[in-house]
Amino acid sequence: MNDNNSDSNNIKLEWTFCPFCGEKLPILKQLRFCTSCGLDLVYLKEHKKLPPEYYKKLINKKPIIQQYPYPDQMLMYGIDKISDEDILNTKDKKLWSTLTSIGIPIASIFIMNIMAAGIMIFYLLFSPSIEEFMNNLTNPYFIVITSFAELILIFLPFIVVKKYLRNPSTKNRFALMGFTTKGVNYWKEIIIGIIFSIIGVLLVFLVSAFMEIVLELIYGIEIIRDITSAGAEIDLSSDLLSLVLLMITMVLIVGTTEEILFRGFMQKGLVRRLGVKWGIIITAIIFTFIHLITIFLVYPIFSLSFVVAFFISFVPYIAISLLLGMLYHWRKENIIAVMVTHGLYNALTILIVFILYNMGF
């Protein structure tokens, strides 16, 4: 008898309020019964349903449980969902599955690309000529406008996280994915993001130079790469205003949406299922390959040009992706510093290329 009581007391009860009467529960280590209505909380936790005698009370009482149409399915309808107090403390919760963690971001990217292709086709139909159409594709103003399509990247994760929250408000959904100022000094996170964006630029420069040396030694060829090739998709001769708008877009839209999708949703889900190391690595690999799709479309697979282009791009992308993943983990899954790092890294890259281009490099 004592052993059973001991086992019951060891059951972790995570409710702040009684799921039957809604009264606040006292903070006691070995609380078993609600101090207001007497509900056996341990029985509810073990069996995921009300004790038999409580079904009769449902007929004449209007308890908090009335919002759940089937008492046996209380757990499914919110009893074990994340409360407002626990949104920033979900290390012990599995959250979304591995398949969902990977599938939702890939689906989001696919939808965004479909939308982008539709916009381009529509724009092409009303363009005076193919030449003008191609020129406008590299226009910074056009890129700024089309970058708003990236907002679609947070749409599916925003829907998915709803079912894990007791109070699925917009604020709570973003907070679950790490986008919150609750409990953090956001100025500190911004400063950390600025520092790591500079580290990211230096890291990518070093690994890019190293990779070029390695490929030259392996294939016995000299790789001549224009320093401005990183901004080849942008018209670098444009005015200063377009450059500023483009940099702001990188920080506020591109960095924000991609980090919520990949680190805030994908990595967070994978870490719960596969552990920190594999969560960071798999997220970084998927993030990298998604950004290298163009190489697979432009170059013949396994040709020398494909191999060179692939590895020159893959190594820098995987380096910055791992940096972002480790930063997200270090900042205890708060995404502010990571978003600043990503967005500012993109902005600094564009600025550096712009300066070098106009200096004649």
Dump pLDDT digits (tens) for 75-110: 444 446 888 888 988 888 889 999 999 999 999 999
pLDDT score, position 233: 62
Backbone torsion region of residue 300, taken as left when φ is above 0, otherwise alpha when ψ lies between -120 and 50, otherwise beta: beta
Together in a domain, 244 and 331 = yes
Together in a domain, 226 and 299 = yes
| Cβ–Cβ < 8 Å for 346, 308 | no
**Full-model pTM:** 0.76
Structure tokens belonging to residue 55? 């079904």
Look at residue 90 and tell me if it is in a domain.
no
Give the integer Cα–Cα distance in Å for 272 and 90: 9
Structure tokens belonging to residue 255? 């960095």
Together in a domain, 110 and 234 = yes
**Length of the chain, please?**
361
Together in a domain, 201 and 250 = yes
Look at residue 87 and tell me if it is in a domain.
no
Contacts of 34 (CB under 8 A, 6+ apart): 18, 20, 21, 23, 25, 41
How many domains is the chain partitioned into structurally?
2
Contacts of 348 (CB under 8 A, 6+ apart): 197, 198, 201
pLDDT score, position 155: 96
Look at residue 94 and tell me if it is in a domain.
no
Give the integer Cα–Cα distance in Å for 163 and 5: 33
Together in a domain, 118 and 236 = yes
pLDDT score, position 242: 85
Q: Which of 22, 47, 80 is the C-terminal boundary of a domain?
A: 80
Tokens 């970084």 correspond to: 284
pLDDT score, position 141: 84
The alpha helices in the chain, defined as continuous H runs, are 2-9, 41-47, 53-60, 98-125, 130-137, 140-147, 155-160, 170-176, 186-219, 240-249, 255-259, 268-274, 276-290, 293-298, 304-330, 336-358
Q: Which of 28, 50, 80 is the C-terminal boundary of a domain?
A: 80
Q: Which of 52, 80, 108 is the C-terminal boundary of a domain?
A: 80
Together in a domain, 64 and 153 = no
Amino acid at 34: C
Look at residue 175 and tell me if it is in a domain.
yes
Q: Does the CA dihedral 149-158-190-288 come out positive or negative?
A: negative
Give the integer Cα–Cα distance in Å for 283 and 289: 10
Residue 344 belongs to domain spanning = 99-358
- Residue 259's nearest CA partner among 169, 157, 181, 347 is 157
Together in a domain, 354 and 321 = yes
pLDDT score, position 301: 84
Together in a domain, 241 and 104 = yes
Look at residue 91 and tell me if it is in a domain.
no
Buried-exposed string 155-192: b where 16+ CB fall within 10 A, e elsewhere: ebbbebbeebbbebeeebbbbbbbbbeeebeeeebeeb
Given a cut of 70, the residues of the chain with pLDDT beneath it are 1-14, 22, 29, 54-80, 222-238, 360-361
